[in-house]
Structure 1
């Protein structure tokens, strides 16, 4: 019986190189798990306890991401009507301070933004909040 030991994992490695500067997400974790299962040695398969532990880690990661998104939504909504200080950086690398009342909160591409005096400010750029 011949066993194929020529595994092709270069495509996964090449895809990962392009996003090394970003955080690993649940999709990356799931891809790694599937690749590991697909390329395991058929004569020495993965221990079922290892597999269950990895699935538990995947579930925990997903719940943490959901909780983080909910916390950011609450943080943003609680700022409506309040005066804030924020430091934003433009495309040229110049920083400036914005002070004013939060009029609108919106979410775009998974990130929350506040509108202050017609200026869009990322939630993470807020440095102080006044009552």
Structure 2
């Protein structure tokens, strides 16, 4: 159970394990496209790449682009699902909490609006629904 702003609730943790990876940690669609262009420009003209291999590589590129777009959309959906929820987050070594009132998207990255603060999704430590009250807690039973 947690008490924030006088509201006692049953706490349900939600994983927001959003890791920040540098551009060098994973092969993005730009790097994949550069690799494909390099491969095509350096191929032997007397023995070009098999059509099947080329189509396979283009399909992989298309799948990579779709997964990247899906990941971006899911992050936005995850942020939007937190509207109306109580959250805690870490800021300057301190744990803060509050009710999410909106989502703000800046440079393609969603942030949560809590009061006057803008909270990055990656700093959220816990999320719970304030409408789920604990029936075993006498303070929450009416």
- Structure 1, unmatched stretches of 5+, are 1-18, 89-93
Q: 1:32 aligns with which of 31, 35, 38?
A: 35
2:67 to 53, 64, 67: 64
SS at match of 1:45: coil
Match of 1:100 among 75, 98, 101: 98
119, 122, 125: which one aligns with 1:124: 122
How many positions carry a matched residue from both structures?
108
Kindly state the Cα deviation for residue 23 of structure 1 after the two structures are TM-superposed: 3.3
Q: CA deviation at 1:22?
A: 4.9
TM-score (normalizing by structure 1):
0.73
Q: What is the CA–CA distance in structure 2 between the aligned matches of 1:116 and 1:35, rounded to whole Å?
A: 47
Per chain length, whose mean CA-contact separation is higher, i.e. which structure has more relative contact order (CA < 8 Å, sep 6+)?
A: 2
Per-residue CA deviation, residues 19-77 of structure 1 (Å, 9 max, x unaligned), is: 75353321221121112111111122112111111111111111111111111111111
Q: Give the distance between the partners of 2:27 and 2:94, measured in 1 at CA.
A: 31
Cα separation, 2, equivalents of 1:118 and 1:22? 34
Q: Tell me the C-alpha RMSD between the 2 structures.
A: 1.8
Structure 2 unaligned blocks of 5 or more: 1-21, 130-142
C-alpha distance in 2, partners of 1:44/1:115?
58
Larger relative helix fraction? 1
Cα separation, partners in 2 of 1:110 and 1:75, compared to 1, 3 Å? same
Q: Report the equivalent of 1:109.
A: 107
* 1:85 aligned to which of 88, 101, 108: 88
Aligned to 1:6: none
Separation in structure 2 between the aligned mates of residue 34 and residue 111 of structure 1, nearest angstrom: 30
Q: Could you say what secondary structure the match of 2:59 adopts?
A: helix
